[in-house]
Structures are given as structure tokens and as C-alpha cells.
Amino acid sequence: MNAIKQLLIQPFMTWSLSSLLVCWIVGIGFLLDQQQHLNLSSLCYAYSLASVCGVLAVVIYNLLRTECWFRITMILVIAAVAWRVSFFPIIVLAGYMTTLTENVFFMFSIKSLIYPALLLNVMLLHALVMVVAIAVVQGSRSRLKRYLLILVALPFGLLAGIVSFVNDNDWEVLPFSLAGEQSVTAEVSLPHSNPYAPLLAQDGYNWRQITLLYAASATYSLIPSDGRWTQSVKGTLEQDLRGVEAFESRYFTLSHFNAFWLAGSVNCYA
């Protein structure tokens, strides 16, 4: 009976739940795309839901494979920590992946799949982070595989932790607060230049903030500027960064949400 449960029932339950979550998140993305007056709160909540669903799919898969309370507790703790640490870096990476998919959509004359792609990217990236995090902590029968996994995952994990907590105000359970939505720009702009270079020339930053600036400056040139949605996102982020006063990851998280929202609310990719 245990063999049947492990070989048939558990995989079926896991894949069924994962498929339902994917369809749900993509469906929410389509609803966001169709709204003519999308508000920032709706996008923030939809994004957060997609991130939680990605974590949830992997957590449930692992919980079904164990009855040990210590391991269950460990999985839940890993899930909470990995979700919080990776939230801001995944916003950046998911936005970058969506800019690439926008070019593909344009090639096939698909005009309105930005938010479904964004939310799906978020869900998949959070699921991937959870898979790696649990694999590193739980280990593997092969020591070589575990060491190689740690060798690859550790630098990215450290970098994610550094850029997610660059200011004392970042040490909060939740990675952003909608109470600060009035502090970001309310206008869509087009990109002009790398906004991180002038910031690097200034003094007064701690080592974590400097790390974030160097990482952001190095990756900025990799973001394409061909698509209309992409141009609006980059330009709006540039405007926010040039007027930034609170140099903290929580502000940058909300700033990315704001850019994603404004780029879609003006139907710039329609």
C-alpha cells in the first residue's frame, strides 16, 4: 500500500494541485490584462499570490513524502525564509524574463499576455528556489551531488540575502508595504540612461547597498528596450531611482510593482 501511495497517489496529487495552481495564476493574469483601470494593490496581491503558490506546490510535494514532524517543521521554516529572501530578487528576474517573452509575443502578434507571463514566471521561479533550498538542506544520498548543489546555490543565496536587506527598515516579515505606494512616481517615462551609475558615484552607502548598486548596474544593460511594456517599465524605474530618498529594498520592491502596474495601466503594449 505504501508503494502504491508513493508511486501513484502522491505524484498524481502533486501534479494535479500544481496544474490547478498554474491555471489559476495564469487566469488571474488574464483578468489583470483585461482590466482597463487596474490598480496597484490588485497587481501586488496577484504577484504575492503567485509567489506563494510556487512555494506551496513544492512544499506540499515534500510534505506528502514524510511523516516526521521535525522534517515537516524544517520544510516550513525553509519555505518561509526562502520566500522572504528571494522575493525582491525574483521581482527583478521575473520582470527581465517577461521583457524577453514580450518580444516573442510581438513576433506572433500576441498583444495582451504580459501579466499572465509575469505571474507564471514568478510562480515558477519561486518553485525553483524552493526545490533548491530544500535539496540543499535535506541533502542527497550522493555527497558529490550535494556539494555541487551547495557550491552553485550558496553564492546566489548569499547575494539574494544581501540585496534583500540593504537597510535596517528591510528587516520586516513582509517584503513590502502598500502604505508607501504614494512615495513612488505616478507617471510613465521612457528610458534614457543607466540610473545606477550616478548613484555609485555618491557616498554614504553601506556595503550591502553598494553590492545592490553594482549588481543592478551590471544587469541593467542586459534588459532589452524593444518592447513598449519594457520601455515603460525601465523608464519608470529610472525616474523612481533618480528621486529616491529611502535607499531600501522594500522601496525598490514597491517601485518595481509600480512600474509593472503603470506600464500595463496605460495599455502601452496594446
Tens digit of each residue's pLDDT (9 = 90 or more) over 141-192? 667 777 777 887 888 999 999 999 998 889 998 888 776 544 555 567 777 8
Would you say residue 115 lies in a domain?
yes
Would you say residue 191 lies in a domain?
yes
Would you say residue 25 lies in a domain?
yes
Name, of 24-38, 85-99, 106-120, the range with top average pLDDT: 85-99
pLDDT reported for residue 141: 63
Mean pLDDT of 212-241: 82
Would you say residue 270 lies in a domain?
no
Residue with the larger pLDDT of the pair 108 and 120: 120
Would you say residue 249 lies in a domain?
yes
pLDDT reported for residue 263: 80
Angle ∠(242,247,249) on CA atoms, nearest 5 = 115
Q: Dump pLDDT digits (tens) for 61-92.
A: 888 877 788 888 999 999 999 999 999 999 99
- Could you tell me the residue range of the domain that residue 244 belongs to? 2-265
pLDDT reported for residue 160: 94
pLDDT reported for residue 193: 81
Going from the C-alpha of 269 to that of each of 29, 96, 109, 209, 231, the distances in angstroms are 15, 16, 11, 33, 10
Nearest in space to 257 (alpha carbons), one of 112, 79, 50: 50
Q: Dump pLDDT digits (tens) for 49-65.
A: 999 999 999 998 888 87
Categorize the per-residue pLDDT at 104 as very low, low, confident or very high, splitting at 50, 70 and 90: confident
Going by the DSSP 8-state scheme, the letter that residue 7 receives in this structure is: I
User: Taking 80 as the threshold, does the pLDDT of residue 24 lie above it?
Assistant: yes
User: Taking 90 as the threshold, does the pLDDT of residue 243 lie above it?
Assistant: no
Percent of the chain scoring above 70 in pLDDT: 84
Would you say residue 101 lies in a domain?
yes
Q: Is 205 helix (H, G, I), strand (E, B) or coil?
A: coil
pLDDT reported for residue 246: 67
| Contact (CB, 8 A) for 40 and 47 | no
Cβ atoms within 10 Å of 140's Cβ, excluding its own: 13
Mean pLDDT of 122-146: 83
Looking at the structure of the chain, the number of domains it has is 1
Q: Count of residues for the chain? A: 270
Would you say residue 199 lies in a domain?
yes
| pTM for the predicted model, two decimal places | 0.88
Going from the C-alpha of 80 to that of each of 68, 70, 173, 261, the distances in angstroms are 19, 16, 9, 26
pLDDT reported for residue 12: 60
Spatial separation of the C-alpha atoms in residues 212 and 194, rounded to whole Å: 14
Question: Mean pLDDT score of the chain, rounded to an integer?
Answer: 82
Going from the C-alpha of 134 to that of each of 1, 129, 144, 145, 165, the distances in angstroms are 27, 9, 17, 14, 22
Would you say residue 34 lies in a domain?
yes
Spatial separation of the C-alpha atoms in residues 181 and 259, rounded to whole Å: 12
